[in-house]
Structure formats: structure tokens, C-alpha cells
């Protein structure tokens, strides 16, 4: 491919050399430099690609993209200067992979909570209607039958475009992806005009060093999605809804519980059974249907409304949408695990006070005989989280089992002691079991008819991190082993 083709649509200045040259590869990691490649100098908190210019040219790079002044006197390569190399990488990547997003129906979902569940709901519905759909998110990337563990919620722009191309080659017609505020701030999604952009909700999060400097900046980053999509589907019940769409350039569709929304949920009813809890509701507005969900809580209704609004842009029979919503499961998100016992056992990723309170208050609405919460906290993280989660569980759960999570370089017993400090501010009953496997066995052996037991914190994770090493620990596998033992 010619360099000038890769640069198409990007504002740039030629510092040295010629853009009418052949390029073999697009590189942003100096260690992967090869002959006739183009190297993009990214800048991060702990690295600067500009430091490796001489090294990559010596290794055969034919062109270098920079965003600051550099000495090119004795370097035999073309030098291109841009305002922002991260933005440039996104545009270059889209061109390099021949703009695969234009061959897919692209759906981008942003928000503080609900992104993961909603992406899976949308994919489940589309797949059930024979629309092959790729997924990029917090848990994994799915390309056809291939499941790849995720390193970031929203990968680097080069990886996104490479993945899109692979999806096209494997017959995907659509892709649904989580779009994080970090991804938007760092231009990882630049160069993509989403067919549908989605906003779930907004709460203070990801604010601090190496993230967002303020809630205002966090909000502004989320809002960027609605300047690069054709249709915006937004939760109009969220108090920050107006800030998110303030400068939108797309057509807006609203969902929520209020009558001004285009997709409205009404007559919400809880479903309770010995081994099943869910929720049902009626839709109003642009669609009038009865819907049953296999997951509990008002947040599940919001996620389902959103998925309904998205999939209405496809030619899909609504009966298939309803069937998919009733059975869809998301790994580690209110994930009910089948057991032969008359209680409900579930796994959830709730790993901070806000998410733990959300899941416990949701489950409390179903009026279980007892609400049992098993959780721990990660080591080498803010101690305040431990006190807060202990207090939340003590307040809302009838019984708490305090155990280990990812202790990292701390002693599990020290972390548990901090959690106890929080729970003892309440009248909540608790027990301490340091070994997580033993804690899971305890809650299963001591579960009573009508209980709802939630294993919180690990969610989709299949490891436990101890002193810098990750050991296999998948709660689904552990539960299966324990059930076999208890036969």
C-alpha cells in the first residue's frame, strides 16, 4: 500500500521525504519494526515513541509519524508531523485495513454501567436471527467461534481495525462493542462513524491519576460518541442525559421509564421461583409488547429496553427478540448457576461498594428467605473500598461470608480484617473463611430453601492473583467440583 493512501483523511505536514512510497506494515511498537514499515510515535505516561526513532529507522522503517520536532538530519526515512499521533494511528489503521467498519453495521455502547450486559444482549438477539455479529468488550472479543480474552475494554485503534477486518473475513455482518471513556479520550475509536451509538448511564467513576481529571471531563469524553454516530440511543432517565447529547450530531432515540421516551417500560413485575428469578414488563411508545427477562432488577429492564431499541434497526421478528432476552446470560454479570438445591446461586462482578449495593438491593426486592453475600477485596488497592464494601454487605445482606479475592502482595487476613472494620459498623452477621474455595463450599452446604446466594467480586475472572502470580480460579469450575463432591 502507498503511504499517501494510508494518510488519506489525515491533516499532516511532510517534514522530510516523499509520501508516494510503498509501505509494508503499520507499527506503533518499536520492537515489531520491520523493513519498509511506517512507525507511529505514541506518547504514554511511562513511554514516548519519539525516543525510538533512530532505532526503528535502523531496523528498516521507511516512514515515521511524529507530533513534536525531531532531528532528521542523518535519518533516511520520510517524516510526517501531525497534531496528535494517537488520533493519527486511528485514521492510519482504518485506511491500512481498508476501512472494514464500512462493511459492518457498527454499534458502540458507552456508559458507566450496563455496557457489558447490553453488548451481549444485542449480540444474542442478532445471532439468534442469523445475523453473524462480532463483539469487543471488557470480558472478551468474539470473532465467529473464536473467543479472545480482553486486555482493555476498548482496545488500541490498530487492534480495533484489525479485529473489524477479521470479522468481515469471517462473515460477520455486524459488530457490537463497548466504548469506554478512556477509549474515546485516547482516540481509539476515531475514524469510525458508528451506525448506532448507545448511552446507558453516567455516575462518578474513573476519576484520578492516569484516568480523568474531573467528572466534567469524564462526561465530555462519553459525549464524544454522539458526534460520531448516525443514530444515538440514550437513556433519558439518567440525570446527565442532557449533558451527553448537548452537542450531538446524530438522530436521537430515547428509552426509559418516563412517557417522553420512544421506548418505555411499564407494569414491571418481579418473577420468583425456587431456582429462578427474573422480571417482566410491557413496552410502550414505538413498540407495544410483553417482555420477560431471565435476570432480575430495574437495571436489567434498562439494558433490555436498550437492546430492543438497537435491534429494531434490523429487520428482525420480535418473537425472536423476546426469546433471546429470556435466555441471555452474561458471564459474571448476575449469572445464575444451576444447582440441584432449592436456593439460587449466582456469580456477579460487583467489586466496589456502588456495584455491591446495586446488586444486593436489587436481589432484596425479590424477598428471598435470606440474602447471603460472599465477597473479598483486592490487595494493593485503596483500603477505603474494603471498609465501604463491608458496610454495604452488613447493611443489605442477611449473612456475609468474608473471604479472599486477589490479595496480590498483601496478606489475605489483613484485607479481611479491614472488611470486618466496615461490617462491624452494622448489625450484619458474618463469618470469615480465608480460602475462597472453602467459602464457596460453605455457602453451598449451608444454603437454605428460598435463599439467594451471590458470589461477588470475581465475576468473569478465572484466576486469583497472589504475590504477582495468577493461579487458575474459575468459580463455575469450583462450583461444579463441589457439587460433584457433595453427591
Sign of CA dihedral 91, 92, 96, 97: negative
Q: What is the mean pLDDT of residues 108-114?
A: 92
Q: Which of 48-62, 201-215, 448-462 has the lowest mean pLDDT?
A: 201-215
Q: In 99-121, which positions are buried (b, 16+ CB within 10 angstroms) versus exposed (e)?
A: bbbeebbbbbbbbbbbbbbbbbb
The C-alpha cell at 264 is 418505555
Q: What is the percentage of the chain residues whose pLDDT exceeds 70?
A: 98
| pLDDT single digits (tens) 194-236 | 999 999 998 865 555 566 668 888 899 899 999 999 999 999 9
Task: Cite the beta strand spans of 341-428 per DSSP E.
Answer: 344-348, 371-375, 399-402
Smallest CA-to-CA distance from 63 within 5, 149, 113 is with 5
Distances (CA, A) of 241 to 245, 337, 376: 7, 35, 34
Closest-CA residue to 348 (of 453, 269, 436, 271): 453
d(CA 342, CA 448): 7
Q: Please tell me the predicted confidence (pLDDT) of residue 205.
A: 58
What pLDDT is attached to residue 128? 93
Cell 492473583 locates to 465
Q: What pLDDT was estimated at residue 209?
A: 57
Question: In the prediction, which pLDDT does 171 show?
Answer: 97
Q: What is the pLDDT of residues 125-158, one digit of tens each?
A: 999 999 999 999 999 999 999 999 998 888 999 9
pLDDT at residue 314 above 80? Answer: yes
In contact, 135 and 106? CB cutoff 8 Å: no
pLDDT recorded at residue 276: 79
Output the pLDDT for position 273: 78
Using an 8 Å Cβ cutoff, are 255 and 235 in contact?
Answer: yes
Nearest Cα to Cα of residue 152 among 107, 120, 184, 121: 184
Q: What is the mean pLDDT of residues 172-181?
A: 96
pLDDT tens digits, 383-407: 999 999 999 999 999 999 999 999 9
Task: Give the model's pLDDT for residue 151.
Answer: 85
Cα 56 from Cα 45, distance rounded (Å): 21
**Per-residue pLDDT at 420:** 98
Q: Are the beta carbons of 295 and 334 closer than 8 angstroms?
A: yes
- 462-476 pLDDT, tens per residue? 999 999 999 999 999
CA–CA separation, 114 vs 155, rounded Å? 18
User: Can you give the pLDDT at residue 207?
Assistant: 55
Positive or negative torsion for Cα 9, 10, 12, 18? negative
- Tell me the three cell numbers of residue 377: 477485596
DSSP per-residue string spanning 136-175: E-SSEEEETTEEEE-SSSS--HHHHHHHHHHHHHTT--EE
Query: Cell triple for residue 250?
Result: 446524530
Amino acid at each position: 500500500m502507498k503511504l499517501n493512501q494510508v494518510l488519506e483523511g489525515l491533516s499532516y505536514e511532510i517534514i522530510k521525504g516523499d509520501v508516494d512510497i510503498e509501505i509494508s506494515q503499520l507499527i506503533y511498537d518499536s520492537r515489531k519494526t520491520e523493513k519498509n514499515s511506517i512507525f507511529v510515535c505514541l506518547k504514554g505516561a511511562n513511554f514516548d515513541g519519539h525516543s525510538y526513532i533512530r532505532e526503528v529507522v535502523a531496523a528498516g522503517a521507511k516512514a515515521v509519524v511524529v507530533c513534536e520536532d525531531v532531528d532528521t538530519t542523518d535519518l533516511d526515512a520520510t517524516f510526517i508531523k501531525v497534531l496528535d499521533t494517537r488520533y493519527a494511528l486511528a485514521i492510519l489503521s482504518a485506511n491500512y485495513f481498508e476501512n472494514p467498519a464500512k462493511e459492518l453495521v457498527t454499534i458502540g455502547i458507552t456508559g458507566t454501567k450496563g455496557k457489558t450486559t447490553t453488548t451481549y444482549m444485542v449480540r444474542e438477539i442478532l445471532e439468534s436471527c442469523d445475523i453473524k455479529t462480532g463483539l469487543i468488550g471488557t470480558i472478551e472479543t468474539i470473532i465467529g467461534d473464536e473467543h479472545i480474552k480482553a486486555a482493555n475494554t476498548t482496545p488500541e485503534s490498530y487492534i480495533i481495525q484489525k479485529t473489524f477486518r477479521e470479522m468481515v473475513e469471517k462473515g460477520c455482518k455486524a459488530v457490537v462493542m463497548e466504548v469506554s471513556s478512556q477509549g474515546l479520550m485516547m482516540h481509539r475509536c476515531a475514524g469510525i462513524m458508528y451506525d448506532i451509538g448507545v448511552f446507558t448511564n453516567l455516575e462518578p467513576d474513573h476519576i484520578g491519576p492516569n484516568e480523568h481529571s474531573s467528572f466534567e471531563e469524564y462526561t465530555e469524553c462519553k459525549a464524544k460518541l454522539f458526534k460520531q454516530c448516525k443514530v444515538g440511543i440514550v437513556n433519558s432517565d439518567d440525570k446527565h442525559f442532557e449533558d451527553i447529547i448537548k452537542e450531538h450530531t446524530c438522530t436521537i432515540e430515547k428509552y426509559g421509564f418516563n412517557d417522553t421516551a420512544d421506548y418505555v417500560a411499564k407494569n414491571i413485575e418481579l418473577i420468583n421461583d425456587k431456582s429462578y428469578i427474573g422480571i417482566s414488563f410491557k413496552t410502550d411508545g414505538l413498540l407495544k409488547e410483553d417482555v420477560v427477562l431471565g435476570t432480575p432488577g430495574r437495571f436489567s429492564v434498562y439494558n433490555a429496553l436498550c437492546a430492543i431499541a438497537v435491534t429494531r434497526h434490523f429487520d428482525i421478528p420480535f418473537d425472536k427478540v423476546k426469546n433471546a432476552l429470556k435466555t441471555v446470560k452474561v458471564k459474571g454479570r448476575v449469572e445464575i448457576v444451576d444447582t440441584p438445591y432449592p436456593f439460587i446461586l449466582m456469580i456477579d462482578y460487583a467489586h466496589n461498594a456502588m456495584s455491591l449495593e446495586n446488586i444486593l438491593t436489587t436481589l432484596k426486592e425479590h424477598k428471598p428467605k435470606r440474602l447471603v453475600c460472599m465477597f473479598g477485596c483486592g490487595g494493593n488497592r485503596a483500603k477505603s473500598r474494603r471498609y465501604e464494601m463491608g458496610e454495604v454487605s452488613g447493611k443489605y445482606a442477611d449473612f456475609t461470608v468474608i473471604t479472599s479475592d486477589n490479595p496480590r502482595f498483601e496478606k489475605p487476613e489483613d484485607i479481611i480484617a479491614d472488611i470486618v472494620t466496615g461490617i462491624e459498623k452494622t448489625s450484619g452477621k458474618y463469618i470469615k473463611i480465608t480460602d475462597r474455595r472453602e467459602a464457596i463450599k460453605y455457602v453451598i452446604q449451608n444454603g437454605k430453601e428460598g435463599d439467594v446466594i451471590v458470589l461477588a467480586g470475581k465475576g468473569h475472572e478465572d484466576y486469583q492473583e497472589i504475590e504477582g502470580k495468577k493461579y487458575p480460579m474459575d468459580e463455575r469450575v469450583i462450583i461444579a467440583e463441589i457439587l460433584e463432591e457433595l453427591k
